[in-house]
Amino acid sequence: MTRLGLTCLQARVYLALARMEKATAKMISKDSQIDRAEVYRTLSGLHQLGLVEKVVNAPTFFRALPVQEALPMLLRRKEKEYNEIKEKTEDLLENLKRVHNEEKTRWMDEGQFIIFPEKERSLHKFRKMVENAEISVDMILHGVCFNYGMTEDAWLWKKAVEKGVKIRFIIYKPENDKAVLRTVQFFKRKGSFNIRYCLSPPPATIAIFDGKEILVSTSPNPDPAKTSRLWSNNPGLVTIIQSYFELMWRKTEKIRNKKCLLHPEQLNYMS
């Protein structure tokens, strides 16, 4: 009964009275071994809850609501209390969400800088930004990083290209020219997908999304799972990074346009 909202003392007094069906406070005190003054106070609370009836007499008698009626009543009260708490919690969450969105809009408008830690959190942010891109994704990266992305996230790039996002990669030291060319040929069938080579290692892995947001690795380590990333939507910084990419794009070498057919198993994998 305590799980249904009664205190331990209320449960003891109610059950003692329920066993006797009708009793005075003195009788209940003797049966339950509870001080008579405590019994009077507890009976008053049980009476307010509707679990005890007071029989005006000399002396005053009390009668307990039958257990089979009391339990459903307590359960209904508990359900009502739960629903009220649920409704208030949902209102609170909605208000928190609204405040969060307002705060997010405010700091997004101001232009912010956030460091995302290594491994899962950083990769999750990167994948989310690729998924949310609507116009373009421009990247400068190592060949090992490119291979990792095309192996782990081929479906994500395929989805982006198919919805019309223009993809451009500048790659340093691709591990396999033919594999890169096959990748380009495959994605070009889906939309805009272009790759060029640079001759010197980039100081960092750079990704620009829709010309509005950037992710820049905080170390030259080419392994995407072993470096943290700086995110920013600061207009000045985004413009600088975008200008650097365009300069590099003009200076870099186009991949050799020789015939290189996709093997059936590779086509199945990338599809």
pLDDT tens column, 160-214? 999 999 999 999 877 677 777 788 888 888 889 998 988 888 888 999 999 999 9
Specify if 239 maps to a domain.
yes
Which of 160, 144, 138 is CA-nearest to residue 215? 138
pLDDT on residue 213: 94
User: pLDDT tens-digit profile of 209-260?
Assistant: 999 999 998 877 767 667 788 899 999 999 999 999 999 999 887 765 544 3
Residue 18 and residue 67 in contact, taking contact as beta carbons nearer than 8 Å: yes
**Has residue 101 been placed in a domain?**
no
pLDDT at 249: 93
Q: Could you list the residue range(s) of the whole structural domain that residue 129 is in?
A: 111-270
Q: How many domains does the chain have?
A: 2
Residue 26: C-alpha distances to residues 21, 34, 52, 69, 90 (Å) = 14, 10, 16, 25, 47
What does the chain come to in residues?
271
In this predicted structure, what is the pLDDT of residue 264?
34
Q: What is the 3-state secondary structure (H, E, C) of 165-219?
A: CEEEEEEECCCCHHHHHHHHHHHHCCCCEEEEEECCCCCCCEEEECCCEEEEECC
Q: Are residues 126 and 251 in the same domain?
A: yes
Does 215 lie in the same domain as 126? Answer: yes
Q: What is the mean pLDDT of residues 130-144?
A: 93
Cβ atoms within 10 A of the Cβ of 227, count? Answer: 20
DSSP track, 114-142: EEE-TTHHHHHHHHHHHHH-SSEEEEEEE
Residues 164 and 229 in one domain: yes
pTM above threshold 0.75: no
Among left, alpha and beta (phi > 0; psi -120 to 50; other), residue 164 is: left
Q: Say which CATH number the domain at 181 has.
A: 3.30.870.10
- The CATH number of whichever domain residue 56 belongs to comes to 1.10.10.10
Residue 161 and residue 242 share a domain = yes
Local confidence band at 110 (pLDDT 50, 70, 90 cut-offs): low
DSSP strand pairing (229-232 vs 113-116): antiparallel
Among residues of the chain, what percentage have pLDDT more than 90? 21
Domain identity same for 117 and 225:
yes
**Dist. CA 207–CA 192, nearest whole Å:** 17
